[in-house]
């Protein structure tokens, strides 16, 4: 779509076209606003990081009926063979405070938690389809699936499905979307933000509005900003998602006096295939990730372990272990498994585009592990095997206390000796997902300035928001946060636009 003079005007402009942006656009439209979305990417790469996700969404649920409100077609057979458990507001709050070392913003996190289920129910009403996460968040024990880690649902079709369903809903409602249109600056006057300057059709153009929602990602795709804020070697990290999240939205807001907020030297970063491309590949999606490390060990090129693989469920450790890999020599490591646990490895370990070796002996395995010191590796395996508390039963559904102690680092749960061939090893590096630093917002998702005052007409949601995540991240919270604050931002922007219109009419 090309932008004519009239097409460059709207009540609300949303910068971005991912999950948070689409939720903002839908909410603003339902609030009575004419909405225009500006997406930096071409149509084929639309959706920001949302397109690259698996689609899991963390939300409060108090039993199967809450799950059924999102997935109404759960069969009675599936229900009878599944223990969904529950995930209360208190548990969600505890997880957020615990993994962020009690730094998360109390007001924002309260909105996130308490609005999580209602927001997903609203998304379902907008046309988003959900399914239970049996394949990713449940193990079958004694003939019955048991969910673990606080997640029960994911979007049908993963990230691509989510983006398709949300943007299709927006288009059906008459929301206009311009692709290949990167925003470069905010337009503002004495009354606040009044539009966006963007590149479209090879020209710099001004798009006028009564309110703007920034929902265009963090700075994870900008190597210079990663090195500046996250530190040395972060410019060498792989990027899990879109190449278009270069921090433009954050920069534009800071230039007009917005308050920076959150953990600017922190990021969501995971174990990622060592030979993955520099940016995300939509044909592979999130399958370059390698998240079954709790059932094996992880070693660096010295052949030494450097993290507690079983410290917690992977939902609560995977987002910080990428940075630990980045600290290792050569910025890579190897995940090692023996035959006893290979049936537990997630589907991402079976893709064709993978850096994997297999051998019938540990000596033969380490001989193929490029750059790994064989003596250090053998010593680590011997020490680890001796330390495993084999008298404690192994149970992947709970933190089973089957530890390997008396070594450093200890392994707190799910420890199994590495002694049963064939053995497998997977080379991993750091894959950065999104950055934690961003803009300060109010509980109405309005951007605040450095004096702590709201900037009239400017709202934000998604990765551009700071203050929620520090050091770490509970899996599945990103999409939920984007949806919750996207909806709030859209509603607030529509109200602001309607108020401006009423004042001008008066």
pLDDT at 274: 97
Position 146 scores a pLDDT of 86
Q: Rounded distance, CA 364 to CA 376, Å?
A: 15
Tell me the domain boundaries of the chain.
6-263+436-505, 267-432
Q: What is the pLDDT along the chain (506 residues), one digit of tens a residue?
A: 455 555 789 999 999 999 999 999 999 999 999 999 999 999 999 999 999 999 999 999 999 999 999 999 999 899 999 999 999 999 999 999 999 999 999 999 999 999 999 999 999 999 999 999 997 888 887 788 888 888 999 999 999 999 999 999 999 999 999 999 999 999 999 999 999 999 999 999 999 999 999 999 999 999 999 999 999 999 999 999 999 999 999 999 999 999 999 999 999 999 999 999 999 999 999 999 999 999 999 999 999 999 999 999 999 999 999 999 999 999 999 999 999 999 999 999 999 999 999 999 999 999 999 999 999 999 999 999 999 999 999 999 899 999 999 999 999 999 999 999 999 999 999 999 999 999 999 999 999 999 999 999 999 999 999 999 999 999 999 999 999 999 999 999 999 999 887 666 65
What is the CB neighbour count within 10 angstroms for residue 189? Answer: 10
Phi/psi at 480 (5° precision) = -65, -45
The pLDDT assigned to 3 comes to 54
What CATH class has 267-432? alpha beta
Q: Which of 429, 305, 286, 418 is nearest to 349 (CA)?
A: 286
Question: HSE on the CB side for 286, CA within 13 Å?
Answer: 20
What is the rounded CA–CA span in Å between residue 299 and residue 372?
9
Provide the strand spans (E) within 190-237.
Answer: 192-200, 203-208, 211-214
SS3 454: strand
CA proximity to 206, closest of 10, 471, 486: 10
CATH number of 6-263+436-505: 3.50.50.60
Alpha-carbon distance values, 468 to 14, 112, 446 (Å): 21, 9, 15
Q: Check: CB of residue 271 under 8 Å from CB of residue 325.
A: yes
């Amino acid at each position: 779509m090309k932008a004519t003079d009239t097409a460059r005007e709207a009540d609300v402009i949303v910068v971005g076209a991912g999950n948070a942006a689409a939720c903002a656009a839908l909410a603003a439209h339902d609030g009575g606003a004419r909405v225009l979305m500006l997406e930096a990417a071409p149509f084929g790469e639309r959706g920001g990081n949302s397109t690259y996700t698996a689609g899991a969404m963390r939300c409060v649920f108090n039993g199967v009926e809450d799950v059924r409100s999102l997935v109404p077609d759960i069969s009675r057979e599936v229900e009878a063979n599944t223990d969904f458990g529950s995930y209360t507001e208190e548990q969600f709050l505890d997880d957020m405070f615990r993994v962020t070392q009690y730094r998360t913003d109390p007001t924002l996190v309260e909105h996130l938690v308490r609005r999580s289920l209602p927001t997903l129910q609203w998304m379902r009403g907008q046309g988003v389809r959900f399914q239970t996460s049996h394949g990713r968040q449940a193990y079958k024990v004694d003939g019955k699936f048991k969910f673990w880690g606080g997640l029960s649902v994911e979007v049908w079709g993963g990230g691509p499905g989510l983006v398709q369903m949300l943007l299709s809903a927006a288009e059906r409602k008459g929301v206009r979307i311009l692709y290949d249109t990167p925003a470069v600056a905010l337009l503002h006057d004495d009354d606040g933000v009044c539009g966006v300057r963007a590149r479209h059709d090879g020209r710099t153009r001004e798009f006028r509005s009564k309110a703007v929602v920034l929902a265009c990602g963090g700075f994870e795709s900008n190597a210079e900003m990663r090195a500046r804020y996250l530190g040395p070697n972060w410019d060498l990290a792989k990027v899990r998602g879109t190449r278009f999240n270069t921090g433009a939205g954050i920069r534009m807001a800071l230039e007009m006096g917005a308050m920076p907020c959150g953990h600017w030297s922190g990021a969501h970063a995971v174990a990622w295939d060592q030979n993955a491309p520099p940016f995300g590949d939509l044909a592979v999606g999130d399958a370059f990730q390698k998240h079954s490390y709790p059932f094996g060990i992880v070693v660096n090129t010295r052949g030494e372990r450097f993290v507690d693989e079983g410290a917690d469920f992977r939902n609560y450790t995977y987002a910080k272990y990428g940075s630990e890999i980045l600290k290792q020599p050569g910025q890579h490591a190897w995940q090692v498994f023996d035959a006893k646990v290979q049936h537990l490895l997630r589907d991402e370990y079976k893709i064709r585009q993978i850096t994997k070796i297999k051998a019938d002996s540990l000596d033969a395995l380490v001989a193929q592990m490029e750059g790994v010191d064989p003596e250090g590796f053998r010593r680590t395996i011997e020490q680890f095997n001796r330390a495993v508390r084999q008298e404690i039963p192994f149970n992947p559904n709970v933190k089973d206390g089957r530890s390997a102690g008396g070594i450093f680092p200890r392994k707190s749960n799910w420890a199994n000796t590495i002694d049963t061939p064939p053995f497998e090893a997977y080379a991993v590096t750091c894959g950065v997902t999104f950055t934690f630093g961003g803009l300060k917002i109010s509980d109405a998702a309005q951007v605040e300035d450095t004096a702590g005052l709201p900037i009239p007409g400017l709202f934000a949601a998604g990765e551009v928001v700071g203050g929620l995540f520090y050091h770490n991240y509970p899996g599945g919270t990103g999409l939920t946060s984007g949806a919750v604050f996207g909806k709030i931002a859209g509603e607030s922007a529509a109200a602001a636009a309607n108020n401006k219109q009423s004042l001008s009419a008066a």
